């Protein structure tokens, strides 16, 4: 092995379908994307439990058709969610592996090994993927890696961000910062253009990030000096390539039923083989007008053969593509910017290779050319690696001068009587930020005030995400409206929230919760317990 300088930290793009890891090297003044054991720069976000071992990455994905019920993928769509959430329930319907309700309504993934069922949280599954990426970096460097910057979708809720940090901790990483995926891509784009002496002092850039499982759109202003200011974000954490695959799979299931009068919908192995074939067909249709899906003995001895055109694929997914453009419109509106004022549209994520997506985006921006200069699969990890170097004091002047000004994707507030959401921090507020509000007692001789912390855009707090709740006790007897409580919301640079409540008549009566930290900090025993669970 050649001698390499050890970087301070790595950047990790933890994707729904594929993940990537990178680091900045001072001696080369560039980012290096690390290859996995198979020599590929992206690794499937997939794990599998077999009779003899636990497989992570390519090994897991390669055996999915033989072992569908014990192979886990798309776990990013479950992380930080509640089992009862409608989106989680919708996801579970299409997954071949079993997901059950765990403690605190957490979705738990059930895997079988040697006749014994083991339950894994989405954080634990994600930690195995992160650990695999960490090992790939260490193999390349020949040195231990502990510090990392991990990317998350811009539209991830506080709970989802917390769960991602939990996964990093379980993987043995010190998570220096969480960064939104489109912001990381904007860093990569900014560095790519940094050598251009004719670049303007300021550019408005729209990052269109359509990956395997999530969609983000971010409107940013990139300054020549290195400042990146996020003006607005939008997106959908359940919109991406996996949904396009599902639409094709469902269409094929109906076609098979018409031809063979057999329903394969509940046969996990047949559905797994069909999913793999549809994913391949989707990729083929990005470069050809038509392709074939052919599977021998798909179900009950019957073969399946079907031709599918790009036009049919576009028809099946027209609703999803339209949603993407709607999010672009909303993001521009939130950022108070007309589409004519956008200088560059940057494509990120493997699903942006779909011709219809590019055509719709170009049409919306009046045939403005799309920026394809950065690798859509590697840009997010690249940007995360640059930020990791910046936070660690490494890098050239361009890296060291980097300043990020991000925003919170969803409104944050508390509950009031009558079902009203009292917003303290509106969506797209620059972070870090601190807001406070004074609330009064609503009843005579009220002894406590309940504080529910919610995230979302509905005026009815019950329709939003409950992040946490607590009560401030010890309020002295008084008429309604007499006693006052100051509630403070504080968001750090990771976009994670801390909440406190203080009785103004008695400053010693104060309660606070660190929403992200309350369940995040694992003891050494917690980590060891998780490791023992996955050791087969």
The set of residues, in sequence order, having a beta carbon less than 8 Å from that of 524 and lying 6+ positions away, is: none
Residue 430 to residue 449: CA distance in whole angstroms: 29
CA angle 123, 234, 325 (to 5 degrees): 120
Q: Which of 209, 242, 279, 406 is catalytic?
A: 209
3-state secondary structure of 106: coil
- Whether 13 is catalytic is yes
Token pair for 27: 């001696």
Residue 113 to residue 268: CA distance in whole angstroms: 18
Q: Which of 61, 76, 106, 282 is catalytic?
A: 76
Residue 469 to residue 69: CA distance in whole angstroms: 36
Phi, psi of 68 (to 5 degrees): -65, -35
Provide the terminal-to-terminal Cα distance of the chain, rounded to the nearest Å. 31
- 196-232 in b/e form (b: 16+ CB < 10 A) is eeeeeeebbbbbbbbbbbbbbbbbbbbeeebebbbbb
- Whether 209 is catalytic is yes
Q: Which of 181, 314, 406, 502 is catalytic?
A: 181
Number of H helices, E strands in the chain: 13, 28
Q: Which of 13, 58, 415, 502 is catalytic?
A: 13
Indicate the DSSP class of residue 84. T
Pairing of strands 202-210, 497-503: unpaired
Nearest to 489 by CA among 415, 413, 379, 420: 413
Residue 444 exposed, middle or buried by CB count within 10 Å (0-12, 13-18, 19+): exposed
The set of residues, in sequence order, having a beta carbon less than 8 Å from that of 82 and lying 6+ positions away, is: 88, 105, 106, 107
User: Strands across the sheet with 215-223, in order?
Assistant: 344-348, 202-210, 215-223, 227-236, 403-407, 430-431
Residue 485 to residue 482: CA distance in whole angstroms: 10
Q: Catalytic site residues? A: 13, 76, 181, 209
């Amino acid at each position: 092995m050649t001698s390499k300088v050890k970087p301070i930290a790595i950047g990790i793009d933890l994707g729904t379908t594929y993940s990537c890891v990178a680091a900045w090297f001072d001696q080369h003044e560039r980012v290096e994307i690390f290859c996995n054991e198979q020599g590929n720069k992206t690794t499937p976000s997939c794990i599998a439990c077999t009779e003899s071992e636990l497989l992570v990455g390519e090994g897991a994905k390669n055996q999915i058709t033989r072992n569908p019920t014990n192979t886990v993928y798309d776990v990013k769509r479950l992380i930080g969610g509640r089992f009862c959430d409608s989106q989680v329930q919708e996801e579970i319907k299409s997954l071949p592996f079993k997901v059950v309700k765990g403690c605190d309504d957490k979705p738990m993934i059930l895997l079988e090994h040697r006749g014994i069922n083991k339950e894994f949280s989405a954080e634990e599954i994600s930690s195995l993927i992160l650990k695999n990426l960490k090992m790939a970096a260490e193999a390349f460097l020949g040195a231990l890696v502990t510090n990392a910057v991990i990317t998350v979708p811009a539209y991830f809720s506080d709970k989802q961000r917390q769960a991602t940090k939990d996964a990093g901790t379980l993987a043995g990483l010190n998570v220096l910062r969480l960064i939104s995926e489109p912001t990381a891509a904007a860093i990569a784009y900014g560095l790519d253009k940094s050598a251009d002496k004719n670049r303007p002092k300021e550019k408005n850039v729209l990052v269109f990030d359509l990956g395997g499982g999530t969609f983000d759109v971010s409107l940013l202003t990139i300054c020549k000096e290195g400042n990146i200011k996020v003006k607005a974000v939008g997106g959908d954490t359940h919109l991406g390539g996996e949904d396009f695959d599902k639409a094709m799979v469902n269409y094929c299931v109906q076609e098979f039923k018409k031809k063979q009068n057999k329903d394969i919908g509940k046969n996990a192995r047949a559905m797994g083989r069909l999913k793999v074939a549809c994913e391949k067909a989707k990729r083929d249709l990005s470069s050809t007008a038509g392709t074939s899906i052919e599977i021998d003995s798909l179900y009950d001895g019957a073969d399946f053969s079907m031709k599918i055109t790009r036009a049919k694929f576009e028809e099946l997914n027209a609703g999803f593509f339209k949603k993407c453009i709607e999010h672009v419109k909303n993001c521009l509106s939130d950022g108070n910017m007309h589409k004519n004022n956008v200088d560059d549209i940057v494509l990120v994520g493997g699903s942006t290779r779909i011709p219809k997506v590019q055509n719709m985006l170009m049409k919306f921006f009046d045939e403005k050319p799309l920026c394809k200069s950065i690798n859509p699969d590697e840009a997010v990890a690249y940007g995360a690696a640059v930020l990791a170097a910046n936070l660690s004091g490494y890098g050239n002047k361009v890296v060291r001068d980097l300043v990020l000004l991000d925003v919170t994707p969803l409104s944050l507030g508390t509950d009031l009587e009558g079902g009203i959401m009292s917003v303290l921090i509106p969506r797209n507020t620059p972070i870090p930020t601190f807001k406070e509000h004074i609330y009064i007692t609503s009843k005579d001789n009220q002894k406590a005030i309940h504080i529910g912390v919610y995230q979302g855009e509905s005026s009815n707090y019950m329709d939003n995400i409950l992040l946490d709740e607590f009560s401030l006790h010890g309020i002295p007897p008084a008429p309604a409206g007499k006693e006052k409580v100051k509630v403070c919301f504080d968001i750090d640079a990771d976009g994670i929230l801390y909440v406190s409540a203080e009785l103004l008549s008695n400053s010693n009566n104060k309660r606070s919760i660190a929403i992200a930290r309350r369940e995040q900090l694992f003891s050494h025993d917690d980590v060891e317990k998780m490791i023992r669970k996955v050791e087969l």
